[in-house]
Structure 1
């Protein structure tokens, strides 16, 4: 800063004001200081800035993986919103071969220069109930259930299923078959529970459930099997990949979609990948989930209190295409 001050002909205090974005600097002086910074290769020392201001302007994100469609969209939204507010993002995944707990994940993230953390809890963990984050270290959870001590946000996974069942039953189908996600997934568990309880409340038969792995091949195998069930006229798959695989499996066994079997997926993940996509789906607004989670943690970092014990729900949106037939 002394070098910059000398080169620009100003005081070190003026250089500090420019580096910290203060408005108390004349535009022509700011330009002269910034030109000197550029010429001499000055970069702010964020560790020193954090010591002075109490913040690193960096948010941590913890995920089980970054490859699934929903996680990738959530992460992209967090990064984009962080950049808009001049924050950086530090990413970690849950350790393999170690106990996967909130306590361990937050402890690891606290060793990094971050001001707070967002945890995407797509799997069950042992210390979710009753977990208390460290004092003065904001934690936001993206998960299905509201946490007692952390702000929580997510899509309505359960309501997504009940809405799909209502939709298919309103088209004249007597029941709805379900291709579920893996048993380790909290979202898959909630979607399966919503499907089952919606049918029970309507007094409809609850068929056997097929369990997939989120991938199209598992949907294909389920589709081939369901093609031989004469009572199967409607299928709800827990994501679009399995739904699209089921469509192909049904067609390979001689069934037509939607003339013989109607299908609905979840997440609207194939719209930019499959040409002439004909799959009706329940779109989960992952971008809004990421944006809301970032807003929650940033506001806490800046001193605002965010309610805990309740979940902020981002409602899904039904996207109707051509994979459902009204048979009523």
Structure 2
């Protein structure tokens, strides 16, 4: 083996190596890889054979410089371990990969507008072709509006800006399904353990729950508030378990519902014999807790797929009309609910 060949083995093959192996110039290799029409078929075949033989992979930065396109979309998401965040992000990555795009993720530690502005700026500096804003953005800012106007942007989780298209799960409908299910089982009213007040998803579920009770002429109990965690569900479950008239509860997330069930069990309140319970999300563990959890399934995968599809439509056709898209949740009945 020559010294030159040894050096090639020690580093990834480059365009010059392909050119040497095919017996052509580096410019010819570049033309073949860019699908330039003015290349003889025999030459094209030699270059592609050399690419295959050497295992050459074209540098993404060089591809972007030559084509003006990064084939990358950005995602702004919240730093959290909650299942729903991970499920949506995973579905976005899968759908983007299937469409031939990479995903660059910018994670924010809070919902403060300055943090979101910084994340959007980082993605714009990377040259992403579009952005999915996957945070429950309650308040926008002039800078956010400017950035989302400059780069095609899709918002999910109920976020709103003046120029973005919205992909949203109907949270009010989810709460109506849960509350109506419990009322139909004969419960006089339904208690609610809500998510954090600053989250749009929590607000939608709260409104749907309250509106359903009011429409049915039922008493609306004071709501309890958690932070999506099992620990906050446990704390609220200890409160709920000491209320004798509480026979039904809609919990705004499955993870909080697990904490509620543990607290009720420790207090000697049986689920569903004493208290029926409906969760929200239908995470994988919901079917395996004790008892198996009745819950509202959110189509996380469908939401991610739609977000990518709509974003790429905007990338290829910037003048396309912005049309909000709502995704419907579904009631999944298991053993945690029963007639009063």
- How much does 1:8 deviate? 2.1
CA distance in 2, matches of 1:283, 1:25: 54
In the other structure, the counterpart of 2:330 is 317
CA distance in 1, matches of 2:194, 2:201: 10
Q: Which structure carries more relative contact order (alpha carbon 8 Å, separation 6+)?
A: 1
Shift of the 157–203 alpha-carbon distance from structure 1 to 2, 3 Å rule, reads same
Q: Give the TM-score, by structure 2 length.
A: 0.85
CA distance in 1, matches of 2:142, 2:208: 22
Q: How does 1:77-156 map to 2 (within 5 A)?
A: 77-94=91-108, 99-100=113-114, 102-127=116-141, 131-133=145-147, 137-144=151-158, 146-156=160-170
In the other structure, the counterpart of 2:303 is 289
CA distance in 1, matches of 2:37, 2:224: 61
Aligned residue for 2:145, secondary structure, equals: coil
In the other structure, the counterpart of 2:184 is 170
Q: Deviations over 1:152-208 (max 9, x none)?
A: 112111111112111111111111000111223221122112211221222211101
Q: Give the TM-score, by structure 1 length.
A: 0.87
Give the gaps of 5 or more residues in structure 2: 1-14
In the other structure, the counterpart of 2:64 is 50
Q: Which has the higher helix share?
A: 2
Say yes or no: does 1:258 pair with 2:265: no
Aligned residue for 1:100, secondary structure, equals: helix
Contact kept in structure 1, 2:116 and 2:144, CA below 8 Å: no
CA distance in 2, matches of 1:302, 1:54: 14
Q: Deviations over 1:272-304 (max 9, x none)?
A: 784565100001011111111111222222235
Shift of the 54–131 alpha-carbon distance from structure 1 to 2, 3 Å rule, reads same
* RMSD between superposed Cα atoms in Å: 3.0
Shift of the 186–129 alpha-carbon distance from structure 1 to 2, 3 Å rule, reads farther
CA distance in 1, matches of 2:280, 2:42: 54
Give the gaps of 5 or more residues in structure 1: none
CA distance in 1, matches of 2:68, 2:77: 26
Aligned residue for 1:63, secondary structure, equals: strand
Is the radius of gyration larger for structure 1 or structure 2?
Answer: 2
CA distance in 2, matches of 1:248, 1:142: 32
